[in-house]
Amino acid sequence: MSQVGFYGLGSMGICMALNLQKHLQETKQPSLHYSNRTLSKGETLKAAGGVEEPNYAALVKSCDIIFTMISNDKVLNNLVDVALLAGSIRGKIFVDTSTVHPDTAVQSSEKLTNAGASFIASPVFGANAMAASGKLIFALAGPRAVTDLVKPLILNVMGRSIIELGEDVSKSSMLKIAGNVIVIGLMEVISEVQVFAEKVGLGTTIMEKMIADMFGPVAESYSKRLTTGCYAPPHGTTPGFGISLAIKDAKHAISIANGHDMRLNVSEAALSHMLNARSYAGENLDSSSMYGTIRQESGLPFWSENSRQCI
């Protein structure tokens, strides 16, 4: 049996890893090995039977299939370099579930393939709640022989569906970035309409009911990130999706669009609002915190009655 590993235990990664460990136990496969920059974040995984490795190099050495869920392109580049220095990686399969630039995915694939390993780019769609319930959507691209090997570790384990994009790993990264254009655009539009509702006297509760009835539970969930104050959570509370990650994703999308002679006008507006929110209130904000900036631009406080009330 293959030894499976997982690196990157942020708010998404820990949920994914726990579901993967549960599956391995239920199917009587070797326990998941894991590592993370901050090892203490793996305590719940250790309690569930996971096996801690001291660092990524040790994880690579001990595992045949290694999943990663990390924050940005720089981290992935560093992990690839570490893997290449960890000894022979011939035959190993690296599965990155993060959102990175398509060029980064291609470069990672080339480096690992040249060393005899395989690389699968499989960024995921879905927030923390979907990760916890094993309902993420995986955009999967890589060599067919190895994607078939990892699918049983994904479907009905960490994800509810797989979108297959062939062997070109840039395609899955591009699809994820395209999906983020929709998500960021929805957050921008819903932020605007909720501020509009407050300014004209309709109120956010009525507007949220209309959003739910007209556009369904996904749009309603985005609205609730605003109305419940999750866009600016209390200090010490992890945002649902951190603002710096969303800024990174928006910049990737805008850069790629500009390279293809087009503009993403809504994404550009959202990026500006997120940058202003981070400048005003710091890093501990959700990607939906463009809502605070739009409130300010409309003469309202950045903070709502349900959000935290301080910088």
CB atoms within 10 A of CB 205: 10
176 is catalytic: yes
Among 176, 224, 248, 251, the one annotated catalytic = 176
Instruction: Give whole-number Cα distances, 278 to 112, 227, 247, 284, in Å.
Output: 36, 19, 10, 8
Query: Which residue, among 169, 160, 145, 308, has the nearest Cα to 231 in the 3D structure?
Result: 308
Active site positions, annotated: 176
